[in-house]
Structure 1
């Protein structure tokens, strides 16, 4: 099955999330509702303070450090090359932050 990525600002808590909704006075998460066959009831006490422990949203990883020392061992070349690719991928993902309208 094909995979998809959604780029959005990470909410600090469930109450600030675009996937939170209220149904019959109960606050629920659309994402967790889909993933857990309807079991998405949020803790009414903490949903304004933090994200649910089982929240499927994940933060982007950090960029990797690249060794620019010309005297480092040749074996580190491949590690640095992978880091360059990793960082370029993150740059491309973050470049879409403006969301082009076509």
Structure 2
């Protein structure tokens, strides 16, 4: 089966996430991760610590993964460094294609 990628701005917390929804539980509102449910994760309920608009974190089990950092290139002195630069150029081109950016400093 082929794979797909959905590129979104990474939310700071579950409250800001487009996949986080709330519903009224027995005693209070509870956060629910629709994406985790679709991916059959064991944990889909978000605690108040993460499902709060003032929260600065996401749970460890969050299915959203950050894109890797760009690779840096160096002035080649040996064949090894030339190969390393070619790998970095390809890596960075792939990240530019995923994020649709052309600026070297953007992710």
What's the RMSD between the two structures over aligned residues? 1.8
| Aligned mates of 1:13, 1:75 — CA distance in 2 | 42
Q: TM-score, normalised by structure 2?
A: 0.77
| Aligned mates of 2:34, 2:92 — CA distance in 1 | 31
Q: 1:40 aligns with which of 15, 23, 44?
A: 44
**Is 1:94 the counterpart of 2:99 in the alignment?**
yes
Q: TM-score, normalised by structure 1?
A: 0.80
| Aligned mates of 2:99, 2:73 — CA distance in 1 | 19
**Is 1:85 the counterpart of 2:90 in the alignment?**
yes
Match of 1:22?
22
> Cα deviations across residues 13-38 of structure 1 (Å, max 9, x unaligned)?
00000001123332101111122367
CA apart distance, 1:44:
1.9
Unaligned 5+ segments in structure 2 are 102-107
Contact 2:21 2:34 in 1 (8 A): yes
Higher share of residues assigned helix: 1
Greater length-normalized contact order (CA 8 Å, ≥ 6 residues apart): 1
Match of 2:10?
10
SS in 2 for 1:85: helix
